[in-house]
Chains A and B, each alone.
Chain A
Amino acid sequence: MKLEYNGEEQVPLAKAAVWDFINDPQKVASCLPDVQEVIVHDPKNFDAIVSVGLGLVRGKFKFKITLEPEEGGNRMNVKISGGGFGSAVDLLAGADLKDNGDSTTTLDWSGAATMRGPIATVGGRVLDAQAQKLISGTFANVKTRMAGN
């Protein structure tokens, strides 16, 4: 099953600061809800182990995450793939950065996730709400963490 989400966050930081933040794997990973462990391979590739609980599907999922910043510092694409317990999740997310001109930045994000295996079938009935929570939670965390910096 394929799920699509989008949203917008207002971050009280200048665009360059936001750009720096979202190019830092350790910082990005720390924004994933229920993240247990982060293993950074290089500035663009890292693994994150996340606790997942969806209906009968419960446990730790391992995600491989690749940051794909676009030239010019206006857009960041993120590829996330992984899973566990016979399930797989592939997520493509992107965020456009808009300088609001008042030292704040608009993060206009969207993502599409493809779920496969028991997570889509057994967990499917509660998946949409959970995935929505996960993705919007991530971007909300991005905002909170940056605001806290």
Chain B
Amino acid sequence: MTAPTTEKFAMGKSMKRKEDPRFLQGKGNYIDDINLKGQLYMALVHSPYPHANIKGIDSSAAMKVEGAVACVTSKELNAYNVGWLPTFHGLDKQMVLADGKVLYQYQEVAACYAETREAAYDMAELVEVDYEPLEVVNNPFKAMKDDVILRPDRENKTNHIYNWNVGDSSATDAALAASDHVVKQHVVFPRCHAAPLEPCGCIAEFDTMGRLQFYVTSQAPHVYRTALFLVLGIPEDKIHVISPDLGGGFGNKVPVYPGYVCAIAGALVLKRPVKWIETRTENLTSSFARDYHMDIEIGASNDGKLTALKVNTVADHGAFDAAADPSKYPAGMFGIVSGSYDFPVAYANLDAYFTNKQPGGVAYRCSFRVTEASYLIERAMDIVADELKMDPTELRRKNFIRKDQFPYKSPLNFTYDSGDYEHTMDVALERIGYKQLLKEQAEKRAKGELMGIGISTFTEVTGAGPSKHFDILGIKMFDGAEIRIHPSGAGIIRTGSKSQGQGHETTWAQIVAEELGLDPQNFLVEEGDTDTAPYGLGTYASRSTPVAGGALALAARKIREKARKIAAHVLEVDERDLEWKDYKFEVMGAPGKSITMKEIAFAAYTNPGDNEPGLEATLYYDPPNMVFPHGTYVAVVDVDRETGETKVRRFLAIDDAGTIINPMIVEGQVHGGLTEGFAIAFMQEIAYDEAGNNLATNFTDYLVPTSLESPSWETGHTVTPSPHHPIGAKSVGESPNVGSPAAFVNAVIDALSPLGVRHIDMPLTREKVWAAIRAAEGQAAD
């Protein structure tokens, strides 16, 4: 018997990525690389006004452009009954093209179709729209006055969208009243954007059989297919969604954008394929993330024991309530705001409002409002420590949920699966040399230099999700996996997830290889094609490993059970006498008498005995609970007192993501997430001026960190497996983005604390930090 090859490459091994050779040679197949014969190009007309009535649209000049084919407005879409789309959770609807009025700047107003890309853009510039400007509501605090009603199309004539709350309000108030200390802080998580380097895009074609072939940058192809059926009424068998290689996603490629509907409508009516690729400006102005204005109150005793947590949030949802939130809770997983701490009682309340801003609320590398929650509690813990004159690590240590408290029922109704917060923090403090850093800081402070150490000991919640908590338009958030083993022991793996760079072609093969004792190099992983992949809700919210990964492991085990029968037949023993050991079936009590999966695979097609031939399995996995990754991040910064310049000197991330499939890929995910967290903390904001102008419409205004600003990341991990996940894995893609902003900001505020600075809202630009230093020094001088 040949030795199985899994030793080399399966679970826990830094196997090189199988997808890389094509990307490295420029052979990736991204949406704009796909061209269909006879395709038209589409360009959209956008509103320069954030709020205006549309008095008329004149496309006559546009139609004179050489190569012009058609110009479509809401009038035509309404005639086909596709003028409006239901939003993600089905609680609101949104315009495809502005219908009577525009509600935010850059809103889509008309779609131009032409023979060439250039002609389509020429057309878009020549469409004349007669706008009657209306008063702009550019923030939720103005919106809540209801002086201007933004959405007269809705039944309730108010800008208030919903109230959501969780926890025990009166018990929390009572506990706060009885506390020795109550610390309060207003914290804003600014509006930002996922901004993958590849913008969104699609090509729509109705083939000769009347079937929609829809190539699209989608993190959730199956959701799109069902959504298109629900929106357009096309039978699901007549819709084929193909999501090719994605140039990043980070949540941006979850929503169904108006441009997609316009491309499909154009393809249907014009009977030609229609291609639409976003410009960077379109990408940055069509959705957003975050934008929570939060007030936190934390009660504490004199000795640093936390007594109560209360959070009030005002959410700015923009023009439509189109948050990409599949949970049954309007504010998603915001209830994770009690974090890693054992609060006896807590209450969170949230009100959401319409404003004249772009709609969306995508979960930017985050499981639906987890980043806002995590940032808030981790930022607030430092403020509490400061007020109690405690070391922030000691305050955390004193209040951590202890290892023996899991499964832990949080006061905001989550059941945390597992964790060992104190251990992870100890590993981090030891590795960063916390005591030495404190000593260095004291010396620098004596000299008037500003050095800060920032800690974040976050807990996040991922793996959407259990059907009791989640659905999209009613569809439960399970995931399907299909594994087919060929006679040679090679195979094909298909799931409903969709990699955007996470490396599923590698890690999915590793999971299956580990379970079956086969060579991961011989597995083809296919995703993104709704004709072949089993149903699944896609990749976002760090759900692939918790859900699709679980489905894969269980499907592989199903194959193993069938393989046991074939093995019994081949070895002529009772299947109950077989034991799966060292990646092969061994006859118990007869060492040496064994059969590998490769041999069983061959037998499945050549000598299955009375068993059904073939070796394959399909399995749908509805996870019993979410998973709760955690970590300790430490940032060390130096702030230039004269210029406000912040330098992140060191950053250490110790993540606990449960079982690790591929350490190299995990480290890569952490590096990327930290860099995105760094960007949010220091440079990114979709800001609006008072006239409603969106001030971050391209990469010269919405900044992505370059190799020069980005710190060198130090990483490590502890492993606390999830008790309910088939392979004990949690997830890691989002942790660094969820956990790091607080570490950065805590470090900068710690640096400025000798001056009396208590809080600065992100992004901590040089200008803002400089102003805070000047203001603090000015106050000190008074």
A residues sitting closer than 8 Å to B (CB atoms) are 1-2, 62, 81, 83-88, 90, 114-118, 120-122, 124
Partner of B691, one of A83, A87, A116, A118: A116
Would you give the shortest CB distance from B179 to chain A, in whole angstroms?
46
A117 touches B693 (CB 8 A): yes
B48 touches A87 (CB 8 A): yes
Given A121-B694, A121-B697; A86-B689 close (CB under 8 Å): no
Given A116-B48, A121-B701; A90-B693 close (CB under 8 Å): no
Distance between Cα atoms of A39 and B223 in the complex (Å): 52
Distance between Cα atoms of A121 and B212 in the complex (Å): 39
Distance between Cα atoms of A117 and B105 in the complex (Å): 7
Distance between Cα atoms of A62 and B700 in the complex (Å): 28
Distance between Cα atoms of A81 and B45 in the complex (Å): 18
Would you give the shortest CB distance from B706 to chain A, in whole angstroms?
21
Distance between Cα atoms of A117 and B281 in the complex (Å): 11
Given A83-B48, A86-B46, A88-B48; A1-B701 close (CB under 8 Å): no
Which residue of chain B is the closest to A114 with respect to CB atoms? B691
Would you give the shortest CB distance from A64 to chain B, in whole angstroms?
9
Would you give the shortest CB distance from B280 to chain A, in whole angstroms?
12
Size class of the contact patch on chain B: 20 to 34
A118 touches B105 (CB 8 A): no
Q: Is B125 an interface residue (CB 8 A)?
A: yes
Which residue of chain B is the closest to A116 with respect to CB atoms? B48
**A84 neighbours in B (Cβ, 8 Å):** 125
Distance between Cα atoms of A81 and B693 in the complex (Å): 16
Would you give the shortest CB distance from B97 to chain A, in whole angstroms?
15
Residue-wise interface mask of B (39-67) relative to A, using a CB-CB cutoff of 8 A (1 in contact, 0 not): 00000011011100000000000000000
Cβ < 8 Å to A, chain B residues 668-726: 689-695, 697-698, 700-701
Distance between Cα atoms of A120 and B687 in the complex (Å): 13
Which residue of chain A is the closest to B133 with respect to CB atoms? A90
Q: Is B131 an interface residue (CB 8 A)?
A: yes
Would you give the shortest CB distance from B138 to chain A, in whole angstroms?
12
**B45 neighbours in A (Cβ, 8 Å):** 86
Would you give the shortest CB distance from B312 to chain A, in whole angstroms?
32
Would you give the shortest CB distance from A56 to chain B, in whole angstroms?
10
B46 touches A120 (CB 8 A): no
**A88 neighbours in B (Cβ, 8 Å):** 48-49, 131
A116 touches B125 (CB 8 A): no
Which residue of chain B is the closest to A88 with respect to CB atoms? B48
**A121 neighbours in B (Cβ, 8 Å):** 693-695, 697, 701
Given A84-B125, A121-B697, A122-B698; A2-B691 close (CB under 8 Å): yes
B46 touches A116 (CB 8 A): no
Most buried by B among A83, A87, A88: A88
Which residue of chain B is the closest to A2 with respect to CB atoms? B691
Would you give the shortest CB distance from B101 to chain A, in whole angstroms?
15
**A122 neighbours in B (Cβ, 8 Å):** 697-698, 700
**B128 neighbours in A (Cβ, 8 Å):** 62
Which residue of chain A is the closest to B45 with respect to CB atoms? A86
B125 touches A85 (CB 8 A): yes
A1 touches B689 (CB 8 A): yes
**B701 neighbours in A (Cβ, 8 Å):** 121
**B695 neighbours in A (Cβ, 8 Å):** 121, 124
Partner of B690, one of A2, A83, A86, A117: A2
B49 touches A1 (CB 8 A): no
B691 touches A86 (CB 8 A): no
Would you give the shortest CB distance from A26 to chain B, in whole angstroms?
23
Would you give the shortest CB distance from A13 to chain B, in whole angstroms?
35
**B133 neighbours in A (Cβ, 8 Å):** 81, 90, 114
Distance between Cα atoms of A115 and B131 in the complex (Å): 14
Residue-wise interface mask of B (126-160) relative to A, using a CB-CB cutoff of 8 A (1 in contact, 0 not): 00100101000000000000000000000000000
Given A2-B690, A85-B125; A116-B697 close (CB under 8 Å): no
A116 touches B49 (CB 8 A): yes
Distance between Cα atoms of A87 and B281 in the complex (Å): 13
Which residue of chain A is the closest to B281 with respect to CB atoms? A118
10 extra interchain contacts, Cβ-Cβ under 8 A, other than A88-B48, A117-B48? Answer: A1-B691, A2-B690, A81-B133, A90-B133, A115-B693, A116-B50, A116-B692, A120-B689, A120-B693, A124-B695
**A87 neighbours in B (Cβ, 8 Å):** 48
A-B contact pairs, 17 of them (CB 8 A): A1-B693, A84-B125, A86-B46, A86-B125, A114-B133, A116-B49, A116-B105, A116-B693, A117-B105, A118-B281, A120-B691, A120-B693, A121-B693, A121-B695, A121-B697, A122-B697, A122-B700
Distance between Cα atoms of A87 and B106 in the complex (Å): 10
**A116 neighbours in B (Cβ, 8 Å):** 48-50, 105, 691-693
**B689 neighbours in A (Cβ, 8 Å):** 1, 120
Distance between Cα atoms of A7 and B445 in the complex (Å): 53
Cβ < 8 Å to A, chain B residues 346-384: none
Most buried by A among B690, B697, B701: B697
Would you give the shortest CB distance from B213 to chain A, in whole angstroms?
31
Distance between Cα atoms of A117 and B106 in the complex (Å): 8
Which residue of chain B is the closest to A89 with respect to CB atoms? B48
Distance between Cα atoms of A101 and B296 in the complex (Å): 67
Distance between Cα atoms of A4 and B691 in the complex (Å): 13
Distance between Cα atoms of A118 and B46 in the complex (Å): 11
**B50 neighbours in A (Cβ, 8 Å):** 116
Distance between Cα atoms of A114 and B46 in the complex (Å): 18
